[in-house]
Structure 1
Amino acid sequence: MTGKDAVVLAKWAVALFMALAMISVNMVDSYPRPQAYPGKSEVSVERNESAPLLLEVYYESLCPDSVDFLLRQLLPVTRKIGNIVRVELIPFGKATWHRLGAEYIFRCHHGPPECKGNRIQTCGYHFLKQQNETAALEFVYCTMQAYDPSTVAERCAKKSGFSGKALLDCTRNSAGSHLQHKMALKTEALKPKLTWVPWLVIDGVHNDHIQRLGTSNLLHLLCSMYKGHLPNIDKELQNDNDIIANLLHLAPAMRLVLYKNNSHTKSCKCARISKVPATGTAPATNSKMLTSGKYMLVLTSLTIVFACASSKLHHKKNHHSHRRIRDAAPVLLEVYYETLCPDSRAFITNQLYPTLQQINSIMNVSMIPYGKATQKQDGDNWVFTCQHGPRECVGNVIQSCALKYLPLNNTDPATKISRVFTLINCMEAAKDPSSAGPDCASQQSIDFAPIDKCSKSSEGNQLEHTMGVRTESLDPKLTFVPWMVINGIHTASMQSRALYDLLGLICDTYTGPKPAACNE
């Protein structure tokens, strides 16, 4: 097919799509949008200057979802487009407090270590922000990368230009207590009330759209809400967008936002395309963008089609051109399981591990060993009751410790798979997973001593408690084990397919170039 044929085909496709879009315009109009600017016109006109968005993040220092959001979403966003958003961090979450004399006593969602972590981050963030907002954020990011923020607090403070001694003094005296109390009051004053952690507020507004999109795709949310010029436009992507614009010259004036889903990488950027001219010529980079009332369309699927078409046409003109569409973010798979559950064991050994062996490069896997267990607090510790008895509780704690002491970047050179998955697979294939740890570790040349020590201490107890909290926070609630969540979403069809065709499901979900195993 020649380039001319492709253009003709594209024009007919646009005309057909527009006709269908007119029929479903009411559905488009009903799509939930952020209400951050109530009362203002939906028509967006670019301005030379625009005030940055204010993003408030209410979180907990040891909450897995908070850690994931700050490190996977907020960190790359603030490093790349920090000039269009101001961030306010409020570490408190679902904690409670009461006054005792001149001091405040706090009880935190994930126990005393979290209270300590909250205070460390409150003190460091408060004092550093007065001098440099970027340094304040980097301090929090640094402490969030450790299981226990207190173990790295001094090092992170010095790295950010803050005295480690001053930080520790703040956390130990009334200054830290009063600062943390301010975080509590600010959290308790929220309207609507906080029901989830992390909780996001943008320009004073919280709604379901902001919460859901912000926690899964913060870059896209901020770019769509910001009214000024977007920074860091990807020039290569803009060139491809211009080709696409030429193919779309039959369409009415519209605003087309192309989002490059790299929020989990260091290359996350925003890109906008200008109004499509009627003449078919490529739009100027600095042209004003228009919207056409209710006919503004989010052409996600169509964009993908024409991006592919334009890439092929461009490649015909220049056989030595580089591939412009970069690899997409890996598929995020969360597996909520039980170490002695027959279905969990079958899934790990027959689906998960074989899939990792073939397409590990396009997956990020998170294991949560807890399932249908229950927990209750007894002093500073937690008492667990597991579906398959006490031995399962032992196995769950061991694997929770393994997930901490064998980080994902500790890979087997031969298989390129993280050693923790190899260990878990070996344990689940054994007759008794709860006692197979030492032998499996020995086979893989893994030092089992730190894992064993952790599993028999309060550290392992707290790790398993964190797994429990994460499981109990699922929405929808877990009703079957193993329970799968992909890119933050769980559906019945996804669950069913993952149990018998995980490789196919991951391949179909991944939006980048497919590995060879996906085509076999």
Structure 2
Amino acid sequence: MLNIIMKLIIIVVIVCALVKCNAISLDYYDPGSDFYVPPDNDSEEDSNQAVNTFLQPPKVQIMLFYEVFCPHCRTFFTETFSPVLAKLGRYLDIYTYPYGNAETVEKNNKIYFTCQHGPTECYGNKLHACALDIVKSNTRALKYNICMMKYSNSNQGSDDNAADKCGKSLLIDSTPIKKCAKGSRGTELLKLYGEESKKADFKHVPHILINGVKNDGKHFMRDVCAAFAEPPSECRDILRRTKLQRKMKQNWLMRTRMVPVFLICSFCVTLANSYTILTDVSFNDLLDEDLPTADVDLMHFIPDKTYTEQKLNIKLFYECHCPGCREFETTEFKKTVERLNDYLDIQTYPYGNAKTEEHDGKVEFKCQHGPKECYGNKLHACALNIIKNHTAALQFNMCMMESSQENRGSDDKAADKCGANMRIDSRPIKSCAKGAKGIELLKYYGVESTKIGFQYVPFVLINGVEYNGENFFKDVCKYFSKPPPSCMGIEN
């Protein structure tokens, strides 16, 4: 009897030891994750070990490409990047590039810049570049630039007034920074940032890279913490919450696996009864249906395919002077419209990141690229309203955005040129854009755009799902269970 009791005691001790060891190991590493999670340092020994571990953690590299007047850049810098800099700045290797979608032009040994939001943005970019060059502490320079982007005055911040105010609050002399921005050094720096930005080959700003990997910025703090091989203590709570969320998701998945068998059987019976509906589809046809192969990009592949009898819905939100929008519409989108128009239900919204303001019964618009873009958006809206053939209206608008058009296109001259080429009378379109109807239409497109809540343009929805692919025509073809003839021969 005594021997049995001793054996039981030994078994209990072994089991307890195993449980304890497993509990400790789980504190340090989550099998479902790729990153280290530090323990609750209950003992002095654990505490000393944690201090030694995080004394010199390998730094995470952050690269941010932006332009100072871009609304989404300002929001990201002041609301998302700023707290990360404050909390984790000493663990980060940060590079910022204040250039964005600008263009550098060299003529007669002189350098000129064309910026998305005009000459004042070019000067603002130079202020940021000069601050990074002159302020010795990179962290202080970043805080100074973030401060300049916070001022929501009529000039959108990042000007001499903002430079002076931020210099005063951060005890930084703004005089040499402004002098640099107005001189050859500012030009030299901005040209350098332009060269580095072109190498990154982005279409939208802010363009964010964490350790060289593109990031959407939606969960920036969490993603930065997850990028550490050995996260600092400041990341502990963030990673623990992520770990808890993952476990909750795993538990939910486990519960869903416990679906009663009778529900599965009920589905099978329903499926069998529905067979009578498929009178025109043979069982072999169903077996022969193409399945996604291993080389399909699963991030862009959407399983909700449709038959060619049901048109694919595409919604495109854009602004007519946005370089990325012009490139997309005149290349990939144009190709898709020309080849698949009969199989698509397309709606376009020429408004983008504009703002609608109403004062004393009057409606006014503020567009990212100035009043000319607002008028161009109205031309697009009026073309969609006046030209009876929707495909012709889309082609007319794409024509106005062609790179061959002068002054970014989408103006009266482009409307006349495209009208002549397509045998479309441009006069009623221009009259509409200059009158009350143009205002009414652009206001409507503004309401519809605001409902979506996008952060960049062009913004595309396919059957209501955000599209982020690289080859639009090819990816659209993937949605069809029985692809149209135009999609045949395309590599999966």
TM-score by length of 2: 0.43
TM-score by length of 1: 0.41
Higher Rg:
2
Question: Where is the helix percentage greater, Structure 1 or Structure 2?
Answer: 2
